[in-house]
Amino acid sequence: MRVAVTGANGLLGGEAVAALAASGHEVLAIGRGPCRLPPGAYRWAEADLGDGASVERVLREFGAEAVLHAGAATDVDACERDPELAWRVNVGGSEQVARACRALGARLVAVSTDYVFDGTAGPYSEDDVPNPRGVYARTKRCGEEAALVLVPDCAVGRVAVVYSGRQGAKATFATQVVEKLSRGEKVHAFSDQLVSTTLAANGAAMCLELLLETTYRGVLHTSDATVLDRVEFARRVATEFGLSGEIVPVRTADVKLLAPRPLRGGLRTERAAALLRTKPLPIDEALRRFRAEWQRRGA
Ligand SMILES: NC(=O)c1ccc[n+]([C@@H]2O[C@H](COP(=O)([O-])OP(=O)(O)OC[C@H]3O[C@@H](n4cnc5c(N)ncnc54)[C@H](OP(=O)(O)O)[C@@H]3O)[C@@H](O)[C@H]2O)c1
């Protein structure tokens, strides 16, 4: 099958390309610049989700039969500073991808976020009504609708607090916990943000299974299975890596942040657990795999 991935240099997209390249599918990896992934059995195309047409053109030329749309402007505070860019990439980019899938009759899974919820009553199920706050959250919610309206058979896979130990993957809260505690530095973590997390490799595997092995329509929560606050997440990372050191609890209201953060967030994942072979991981198993990825970095 001809399978395309947007956001291919990203945490989730990179894992998806790696998994697909080992699967025998014909794979097109799409990123906004040069490829930063290890070489493998895929082709690379540069295209900008924010320019109105180039990703759509690339997908049509490839003749995509299935598309994992994992590209997005993901820096929530940068989105707040530049709403036009956030709109172009997260709404316009999703629209481009959806238009191409509609024209080609391609299966689509669009990746989205727990931030579509306002964080007053989490953890949330797929049936809960979104109420996004802030530019990132609102553009992601509109991106979901672009996909769901233009490609009614598509699925939206929501993830949260993505992390990866893969060589070359970008820094995240989880990798910063490891690096800072290893250097003997303190880690500051929000004590009042209840979240789900997502090991990128497992989130990508769930989204790919959803894309290629199911006809599921609508939203599915494809994060890890455990909901916890960020201090607890940092503690679990430290324990898994055998690191001691100070984890300093911080309250969200005491830090100057541009974009609002959902406080009682988190995603319920029972539906994905029932539907998919690849299961949402309990946090201890997710972190065991994260450490294994980390250890392979230098190898
Ligand atoms: N990261 C999280 O904690 C998180 C949480 C909830 C939901 N999500 C969602 O999960 C999905 C995957 O994100 P991720 O975690 O893999 O984050 P990521 O590592 O930031 O990946 C996003 C990718 O999109 C690419 N991109 C940004 N602007 C683009 C543009 N104008 N044209 C083409 N590509 C562009 C980025 O390119 P560069 O690599 O060149 O920057 C990056 O590779 C997104 O839909 C995101 O909203 C992420």
- What is the DSSP track for 8-29? TTSHHHHHHHHHHHTTT-EEEE
Ligand 1 binding pocket includes 113 (Cβ within 6 Å): yes
Q: What is the pLDDT of residues 19-55, one digit of tens each?
A: 999 999 999 999 999 999 999 999 999 999 999 899 9
Q: Catalytic pick from 42, 115, 124, 136?
A: 136
User: Where do the domains of the chain lie, and which CATH numbers do they carry?
Assistant: 2-161+199-224+267-280 (3.40.50.720)
Beta carbons of 266 and 176 less than 8 angstroms apart: no
What pTM was computed for the model?
0.98
Task: Spell out, as residue ranges, where the chain has pLDDT lower than 50.
Answer: none
CB environment 1-35: b (16+ within 10 A), e (fewer):
ebbbbbbbbbbbbbbbbbbbbeeebbbbbbbbeeb
Q: What is the dihedral of CA 16, 20, 25, 27, to 10 degrees?
A: 50
Q: What is the pLDDT of residues 204-234, one digit of tens each?
A: 999 999 999 999 999 999 999 999 999 999 9
Look up 136 and say whether it is catalytic: yes
Ligand 1 binding pocket includes 142 (Cβ within 6 Å): no
The angle subtended at Cα 27 by Cα 212 and Cα 70, nearest 5°, is 65
Three-state secondary structure call for residue 6: strand
> Alpha-carbon distance 47 to 138, whole Å?
23
Ligand 1 binding pocket includes 159 (Cβ within 6 Å): yes
How many residues are there in the chain? 299
Contacts for 85 with CB less than 8 Å, ≥ 6 apart: 50, 73, 78, 79
- What is the DSSP track for 95-146? HHHHHHHHHHT-EEEEEEEGGGS-SSS-SB-TTSPP---SHHHHHHHHHHHH
